[in-house]
Structure 1
Amino acid sequence: MPTPLPTGPLVTRDTVFAQLRALGVEAGEILLAHTSLSSLGWVNGGAVAVVQGILDALGPYGTLVVPTQTGDLSDPAVWGNPPVPEQWWETIRATMPRYDPLLTPSRGVGVVPETVRTWPGALRSAHPQTSFAALGPRAAEITEGHASDCRLGERSPLARLEKLGARVLLLGAGYDACTSFHLAEYRIPTPLVRVGRPAAGGGWETVTEVSITSERFDELGHDFERDRAVLRGKVGAADTRLFPVADAVAYAERWLPLHRPRAEEFWHPAD
């Protein structure tokens, strides 16, 4: 039986550029992009064409930022997708490669962020589990100084993006992928957790961190979009949204304590 033809739509670099501009992306701005390549349709050039189209829309003075998370650099005792046998844990901890911004691939965030991470001139923040990569004139300002004990809080690129007036681009991705909501978790009473990972100097370390979760982010996003100005459109077949980081954080700060209370023993005061 012959392979069926793709249903499309056919998406090119120019398609991405034109439809992002039609959505409201402005030359020279800073975008935090969460993407789903498969949602776009048949993309001629794949992730490379998507990145080129976004950069075209931003122009030479714009900056593109993407999450380049590495959740596999974590304690195997908490792995569930898939789990590993308990008798392997100590060996995994002892031999897990430490985080290297240049070498460590991103995981679980899609092919577009990995393409940005390896793009000529890209810079990447230093956190071993929740790094961000950036391309453009503000890349160093955004990625520098990502504290090793602050995954997505005040000493992370998210807080800098908020202060710089960046906007979030959800390109085929849902609100469950919106990392900006996590910054709000650092500003409301939130439990603390112990997080294990390979240490920068070798060996294993455990740090105390704010407990973060994307639980109910889809509901949060639905209400946010209902109550705030969110630009909506299409890029190829992908539902696409554009809104300020600061608006998302401020809304989540009010929404989360009301709709997702987390009554645990230890609470983290706002920084």
Structure 2
Amino acid sequence: MPDGPRTRATLATDLAALGLRASDVVLVHSSLSKLGWVCGGAVAVVQALLDVLGPLGTLVVPTQTMDNSDPRHWSNPPVPESWWPVIREAMPGFDPRVTPSTGIGAIGEMVRRWPGAVRSNHPHASFAAVGARAPELMAEHRLDSHLGERSPLAALERADARVLLLGVGFESCTAFHLAEYRVPSPRTEFGCAVLTETGDRKWITYEDVATNSDDFAALGADFLRSGAVIRGRIGEADAHLFEFANAVEHAVRWLPDNRPQAN
């Protein structure tokens, strides 16, 4: 049986005990349900994170919009091919102010809507940040660099950020994706709806690295064996805290030996 409800204060205590520090820049991947019963839900979790980070810290989350993509790639669930032209014609253009994130959980979506949050302007792979360095970290996100050198991930690496996996496994670790841009990786065509400078929407296509997280659990298990990861509990959730740059460096070494390479 759980030993009681989790609160903003108890979560902050757990986060500090794990090693999260005031003034940290931290990229958080999370599952609210894994924390146990939280009084205040996602609001309390974000408050606890910001309490520990303090006024000089910065909280970053992915706010991806996976449904703003070419329907020919959809598999969960797929849609009839006859629908594809309609979707491409009618999908609303990405608007960082209002377009909700999809598939990243309640905590990430709460950060996106948090007062003062800054969101990067990528129609498919955006991030959002709250805190002292949010504008700097979200400033550049090129269309053809979902998770690469001209994205918030590279900015996080330069900022000596840390990563907190909160109730999720390494399959959710976007830091590993940055490594895919630094080793031979396949490329593919993407499509999405965007807003033009005049406020109209249009469908565009472009090419970028075809990222793939299918082997990230195995990569994460190997990274754990390196001793560079702090492990603990936040509420009822397993938590992992580590340096962003260490994760990328490890992935750059691991991927060429453990993943078939692009021709």
Q: What range is the shorter-chain TM-score in?
A: over 0.9
Equivalent positions of 1:51-200 (< 5 A) are: 51-200=46-195
1:225 corresponds to which residue? 224
> CA shift at 1:7, angstroms?
4.5
User: Are the counterparts in 1 of residues 92 and 194 from structure 2 also a CA contact under 8 Å?
Assistant: no
Question: 1:242 and 2:237 equivalent?
Answer: no
Structure 2 gaps of 5+ residues are none
Residue 21 (structure 1) aligned to one of 7, 16, 19:
16
| Deviation by residue 1:218-248 (Cα, 9 ceiling, x = unmatched) | 0100110111321111011100111010000
- Aligned counterpart for 1:47 among listed residues 34, 38, 42: 42
- The question of whether the paired residues in 1 share the 8 Å contact of 2:29 and 2:164 is answered with yes
1:204 is aligned to 203
Given that 1:9 and 1:236 are in contact with CA atoms closer than 8 Å, whether structure 2 keeps it comes out as no
Runs of 4+ in 1 over 3 A off after TM superposition: 6-9
**Is the 1:171–1:241 Cα contact (8 Å) retained in structure 2?**
yes
Residues 35-87 of structure 1: per-residue CA shift (max 9 Å, x gap): 01000000000000000000001011100000000010001111111111111
Kindly state the Cα deviation for residue 9 of structure 1 after the two structures are TM-superposed: 4.4
Distance 1:45 1:120 in 2: 17
CA distance in structure 1 between the aligned counterparts of 2:102 and 2:62, rounded to whole angstroms: 10
Partner of 1:257: 256
Contact 2:188/2:210 (8 A) holds in 1: yes
Moved more, 153-162 or 197-206: 197-206
C-alpha distance after superposition, 1:163-182 (max 9, x if no partner): 11000001111100000000
The TM-score with structure 1 as length reference comes to 0.93
**Partner Cα separation in structure 2 for residue 46 and residue 99 of structure 1:** 27
Task: Give the TM-score taking structure 2 as reference length.
Answer: 0.96
Quick check: 2:23–2:53 contact (8 Å CA) kept in 1?
yes
The CA deviation string for residues 116-164 of structure 1, in whole angstroms up to 9 with x for no partner, is 0000000000111110000001000000111111100000000010011
Partner Cα separation in structure 1 for residue 155 and residue 104 of structure 2: 21
In structure 2, what is the Cα distance between the partners aligned to 1:85 and 1:57?
A: 48
Query: Post-superposition shift, 1:203?
Result: 2.0
Instruction: Note closer, same or farther for the CA distance 1:9–1:225 as it changes in structure 2 (3 Å cut).
Output: farther
CA distance in 2, matches of 1:85, 1:225: 42
Q: Give the partner amino acid of 1:21.
A: A
Report how far residue 14 of structure 1 moved. Answer: 0.6
In structure 2, distance between residues paired with 1:100 and 1:258: 40
How far does the alpha carbon of each residue in 1:10-50 deviate from its partner, in whole angstroms, 9 at most, with x for none? 21001110011001111011000000100000000000000
Number of aligned residue pairs: give it: 259
Secondary structure in structure 2 of the residue aligned to 1:54: helix
The SS at the match of 2:225 is helix
| 8 Å Cα contact 1:9-1:41 kept in structure 2 | no
TM-aligned CA deviation for residue 8 of structure 1: 5.9
Q: 1:139 and 1:24, CA in 2 relative to 1: closer, same or farther beyond 3 A?
A: same
Identity of aligned residues (%): 56
Q: CA deviation at 1:199?
A: 3.3
